Amino acid sequence: MTSLAARLNRVSLILGVIAWLILFFAPPITIIPRLLLLAILVVVPLALSLIGASELIPVQLLAAAAAVVAFLLPAGDAAGGLTMGWLAFTGVAALWGLTRPRAHEWTNVAELCLTAGMLYLPVGGVWLVAARLGVGLLGFGEPLVSLTAVHFHYAGFAALVIAGLTGRALAALPKSPKRIYQLVAVGLIAGMALVAAGITVSPLLEVVAAVVFAASMIGLVALQVRCILPGVARLPQILFGGSALMAVIAMLAAVTYAVSEFTGGDLITLAQMLRVHGEVNALGFVLCNLLAWTVVHPAQPTAAISGSTQ
């Protein structure tokens, strides 16, 4: 990262954190917009810096500023129009993900995770625009439209970036559980799409997908705790350990909600799901994990963790 890009990235993150903390207490901003703004202002630029995409930060800054204004307006044409900038940025990010130097290495599962994460990001952008326009999408209305935008920014983009960073680090180790990582990574990539399909098509598929994704996520943090945490300093150890615990709590809540939807029971309400899964996942798992990677400076792509390795 060049010194200019590094400075710009630091400025973006500082401004993002300050803006999010201010907006946290703004009367129009409720829990779902808070999660979306955290992704837009903090999570996305932090993840971009970790995967070497800091050249996207100037576009992200402009798009994020417009998105903040959009959340201060009631849903409608003006708010939706302002979020079009974020949609455009996510499209640029997806194109970067497809054209970056390692994007063509489809047998490298760690790099495949990063590419998939970048491609899931504009899907979240589409749902964000629909949410701020105040229109339904694929037969869904609010709050599911906004929740789907949250889902693709965190479970789609951020979780797969974390999986990719983990894979890069594991590949640099003399001994690593490559086969287990392959299963975890494929489960995250496929499970993300299956959860969305299940919500749209079949409650049973939603339960199966939630179990696959949750098991894969727990497997990912278990790999971090077992293989990466022992070799880092105290602060990232705390961050990795804390994020692992939060991930387990968040994933158990997600599975419980999917089962509740399938059975028609009331094991967990949507409001409880937002607190236990949404906030715990965003702040406890995603943010803490990305901060841990920021401290340890993740390994650059090395040997592929692929289907051909033993």
Using one digit for the tens of pLDDT, what is the confidence trace for 44-90? 999 998 998 888 988 999 999 999 999 999 999 999 999 999 999 99
User: Could you give the CA distance from residue 276 to residue 207 in angstroms, rounded to a whole number?
Assistant: 18
User: Could you give the CA distance from residue 232 to residue 98 in angstroms, rounded to a whole number?
Assistant: 31
Q: Do residues 43 and 158 make contact, with C-beta atoms less than 8 angstroms apart?
A: yes
Using one digit for the tens of pLDDT, what is the confidence trace for 213-260? 999 999 999 999 999 999 899 999 999 999 999 999 988 888 887 787
pLDDT of residue 11: 76
Average pLDDT rounded to a whole number, residues 26-42: 87
How sure is the predictor about 5, in pLDDT bands with cuts at 50, 70 and 90?
low
CA 246 and chain centroid, separation: 14
**Burial call 42-71: b when 16+ CB within 10 Å, e when fewer:** bbbbbbbbbbbbbebbebbbebbbbbbebb
Rounded to 5 degrees, φ, ψ at 153 are -75, -35
Which residues sit opposite 140 in a β-bridge? 137
How sure is the predictor about 302, in pLDDT bands with cuts at 50, 70 and 90?
very low
Residue type, 184: V
User: Could you give the CA distance from residue 25 to residue 35 in angstroms, rounded to a whole number?
Assistant: 13
Instruction: For 213-256, give the DSSP string.
Output: HHHHHHHHHHHIIIIIGGGS-HHHHHHHHHHHHHHHHHHHHHHH
Residue 217: closest CA among 195, 244, 238: 244
